[in-house]
Amino acid sequence: MAELDVFEYAVVRVVPRVDRGEFVNAGVVLWCRSREHLAARTVLDTDRLRALAPGLDVAAVARHLRALEAVCAGESGAASAEGRGARFRWLVAPRSTVLQTSPVHCGLTADPVAELDRLVDALVAGP
């Protein structure tokens, strides 16, 4: 049996109007400390988002989601200079902005890459 490692993750949400609290899940950020694995995968359902917030600049949201992925990969932004664990904590910190994350959840996995795919399929991708 493969060795299982603890991982943490948060769902990335697009919250067009913070005052209403409505959101569309748009990705997952996953951190596995023992493997030094930090990654994000985003999938923006533009039809659902436009139905929820017709006036929202969807292209801007998509750019911000790509930036989030780049920060995870250490490719962009001031936070990219930080270690992976610090980047994860920075990305999942509570915010009152259009892009927010869920509370952090944890689990066990033998394969963080496959786990990220599984979580995105289960929590973000539509049926």
Provide the CB-side half-sphere exposure for 59 (13 A, CA).
0
Q: How far is CA 85 from CA 3, 28, 56, 59, 110, in A?
A: 21, 15, 32, 29, 19
**Total domains in the fold of the chain:** 1
* Per-residue pLDDT at 18: 86
What percent of the chain is predicted at pLDDT more than 90?
Answer: 83
- Only one residue has tokens 């991708």, namely 125
Closest CA relative to residue 41, chosen from 115, 109, 105: 115
52-93 pLDDT, tens per residue?
Answer: 999 999 999 999 999 999 999 988 778 778 899 999 999 999
Enter the pTM of the model. 0.93
Quote the CA–CA distance of 28 and 68 in Å, as a whole number: 10
* Per-residue pLDDT at 81: 81
For residues 61 and 100, is the Cβ–Cβ distance under 8 A? no
3-state secondary structure of 35: helix
Range of the domain at 89: 5-123
